[in-house]
Amino acid sequence: MYSWIFRHLPGPLWIRIIQTLLLIAFVVLVLMNFVFPWANQFSPWTESTIDAAAAPHALTGTPTHIEATA
| Residue 18 confidence class, pLDDT cut points 50, 70, 90 | very high
- Rounded Cα–Cα distance for residues 32 and 69 (Å): 42
| Residue 5 confidence class, pLDDT cut points 50, 70, 90 | confident
- Rounded Cα–Cα distance for residues 6 and 34 (Å): 25
pLDDT per residue over 19-67, tens digit each?
A: 999 999 999 999 999 998 888 888 777 666 666 555 555 555 555 566 6
pLDDT at 11 over 80: yes
Q: Per the confidence metrics, is the pTM higher than 0.85?
A: no
